[in-house]
Amino acid sequence: MKPACKLLFLAFFLMPFIHSAQVPEVDMVFVKGGTFRMGCTQWARDEQPVHEVLLDDYYIGRFEVTQAQWYMVMSGDTNKCYFQGCDDCPVERVSWYNVQDFISRLNELTNLNYRLPTEAEWEYAARGGVRSKKFKYSGSNNDIAVAWKVGRSDLRTHPVGQKAPNELGIYDMTGNVFEWCSDWYAAGWYGVSGKENPTGPAEGTFKVMRGGCWFYDSAGLRNTDRECANPDYRYGYIGFRLCRTASK
C-alpha cells in the first residue's frame, strides 16, 4: 500500500475513536474548606446527631453532569436516559458503578483526578460552604426558587442552571435529580463518624444519594435529607456531579 493510501486508511480507521475521545468541558467551583455542623435535629433519625465536620479544600461541579457530557465520554452506552434527547438536562439512569466507569475514562482523557463528592462534601457545598446563609435548601428558604420539584417540574428533568444558584454559585443541588455520593449508607453513621474529611462506612449495601429530585416535595429537598439506593441499578431520577480534591 502506498504511503498516502496508508495515511488515508489510518485516518478513516481512527476517526470513530478520535471522536469518542472528546473531552467534555467541566465547570468546577472552588470550595474553601472549613468546619460545619452536619445533620439536623428536627427531622429523620439518620440525620442525627448533629456533629462537627472539618473538610479540606476541594472543587465541585457548578452543574450536574449533562446527557451531552455523559455520551461524549461514554459513547458506547446504549442504555437510554428516561428523559432522553435533552443534551443540557442532567444525565440519569446511570448506576453508581456506571459513574465510576465514566470518571475513570474522564480521568484518562484529562490526566486529572475527578471523583464523586463524599456525603460531607456534598452537604457542605449545598449549604454554601464558608459563605453559608444557613438556608433550608441549597441557596434559598424558598424551594421553588432553586429546585425543580413535584408540582413545578412537569414530572421531568430540566436543563441544568435554570434555577437560582446557591451562595457558592452552584446550581441544582436541590431538586432536578438526586446525586450519587461516594459513601456507603448507614442510618447510624452520624453517631460514629470521624470529624476530619469523613468518607462514610467501609462497606454497605446501598450508596448515599442527596438533593431530592423532580418528583420530590419540600421535606425531601432539604440540604440535610439523606437517601440511599442500590449502586447496581439505573434510576430515572439519580444523576451526579463531579468533585476533585484541591492541590496542596
Residue (of 108, 114, 68) closest to 91 by Cα position: 68
DSSP state of 153: S
Phi, psi of 72, deg, nearest 5: -65, -35
- Note the pLDDT tens digit of each residue in 133-154: 999 999 999 999 999 999 999 9
- pLDDT band of residue 20 (cuts 50, 70, 90) is low
Amino acid at site 154 = D
Give the confidence band of 42 by pLDDT, cuts at 50, 70, 90.
Answer: confident
pTM for the structure as a whole: 0.91
Amino acid at 16: P
Peptide bond into 24 cis (omega under 30): no
Please report, for residues 175, 237, 243, the alpha-carbon distance to residue 151 in angstroms, rounded to integers and kept in the order given: 12, 16, 30
Q: How far apart are CA 208 and CA 238, in angstroms?
A: 11
Of residues 64, 40, 65, the one with CA closest to residue 51: 40
34-38 and 207-210: which strand pairing? unpaired
Cα atoms in the 13 Å half-sphere on the side-chain side of 181: 28
pLDDT in tens, 169-217: 999 999 999 999 999 999 999 999 999 999 999 999 999 999 999 999 9
Measured CA to CA, the distance from residue 201 to residue 205 in angstroms comes to: 11
More confident of the two residues 5 and 247:
247
Cα–Cα distance for residue pair 182/77, rounded to 1 Å: 22
64 alpha carbon, distance to own chain's centre? 6
Superfamily of domain 24-245: paralog of FGE (formylglycine-generating enzyme) (3.90.1580.10)
- For 210, the grid coordinates are 442527596
Report helix, strand or coil for 19: helix
Mean pLDDT of the chain: 92
Domain ranges of the chain: 24-245
Residue 228's DSSP bridge partners are: 208
Residue length of the chain: 248
Burial 6-19 (b: 16+ CB within 10 A, else e): eeeeeeeeeeeeee
Helix (H/G/I), strand (E/B), else coil: 92: coil
Q: Which three cell numbers stand for residue 239?
A: 444523576
